[in-house]
Chains A and B, each alone.
Chain A
Amino acid sequence: ILNVEQSPQSLHVQEGDSTNFTCSFPSSNFYALHWYRWETAKSPEALFVMTLNGDEKKKGRISATLNTKEGYSYLYIKGSQPEDSATYLCASQEDSSYKLIFGSGTRLLVRP
């Protein structure tokens, strides 16, 4: 994998459904994996930064896992709410580099 890839591109779910997204990233020279939530007309909000293989992080109903050996991360949302509607971005950071390499994002719409 040369780029950061996210799937699906978009997702429509019903309120109360649980959902998950995938982020694939280059596993060589890996330093950190970032997840952001970006609501329209607002600043991207940092959700998680993960660095260790097997890392699992949780923030309320949202959690994320990391596999650095195979180069993927999952983001889970339990019991989706309309306010979870946003674009979810993941970004990879290589060792000795400050820049983030972003995927194209997953656009989530939660219907009431």
Chain B
Amino acid sequence: DTGVSQDPRHKITKRGQNVTFRCDPISEHNRLYWYRQTLGQGPEFLTYFQNEAQLEKSRLLSDRFSAERPKGSFSTLEIQRTEQGDSAMYLCASSLAYYEQYFGPGTRLTVT
């Protein structure tokens, strides 16, 4: 049973560096989502893809954040010039049906 996978699981970086995370969705799922969870809060929506098209972006996704999904398969989330406030768990989810989303284990980012 191949679920949603994310890489890396943990990332420690210095403030000002760029980081990139990868998400591999369940193979037949055409929808892919990114969420961010900070301590004590629930996950917050960042962005959504249907196939390779990015259809919705949250206002949380500043200009330093960019997400891509080339060829409608895996997705990458890049954060440029990281700040301490970017420290969080970054979760990826995928779905086939309109409402059932399956999550990966997340990438925990620590910005020092």
Whole-angstrom distance between the alpha carbons of A105 and B104 in the complex?
Answer: 18
Number of interface residues of A (CB under 8 A): 25
Closest to B55 in A: A98
Are B42's CB and A98's CB within 8 A? no
Are A104's CB and B41's CB within 8 A? yes
Are A31's CB and B103's CB within 8 A? no
A27-51 Cβ-contact flags toward B at 8 Å (1 or 0): 0000110101000011111100101
A42-82 Cβ-contact flags toward B at 8 Å (1 or 0): 11111001010000000000000000000000000000000
Q: Which residues of B contact A45 (CB under 8 A)?
A: 103
A99: which of B3, B48, B98, B100 is its contact (CB, 8 Å)? Answer: B48
Are B91's CB and A44's CB within 8 A? yes
Are A101's CB and B45's CB within 8 A? yes
Are A99's CB and B45's CB within 8 A? yes
Number of interface residues of B (CB under 8 A): 26
In the complex, whether B72 has a CB less than 8 A from a CB of chain A is no
Are A99's CB and B105's CB within 8 A? no
In the complex, whether B69 has a CB less than 8 A from a CB of chain A is no
Q: Which residues of A contact B100 (CB under 8 A)?
A: 46, 49
Are A41's CB and B105's CB within 8 A? yes
Q: Show 29 residue pairs from A and B whose CB-CB distance is below 8 angstroms, ordered by the A residue.
A: A4-B42, A6-B42, A31-B99, A32-B99, A41-B105, A43-B3, A43-B103, A43-B105, A43-B106, A44-B91, A46-B103, A49-B99, A51-B99, A89-B42, A98-B48, A98-B55, A98-B95, A98-B98, A99-B33, A99-B45, A99-B58, A100-B45, A100-B101, A102-B35, A102-B42, A103-B42, A104-B40, A104-B42, A105-B42
A interface residue numbers (CB < 8 A to B): 4, 6, 31-32, 34, 36, 41-46, 49, 51, 89, 91, 93, 98-105
Closest 10 CB pairs of A and B: A102-B42, A99-B45, A44-B103, A43-B105, A32-B99, A43-B103, A102-B43, A104-B42, A103-B42, A98-B48
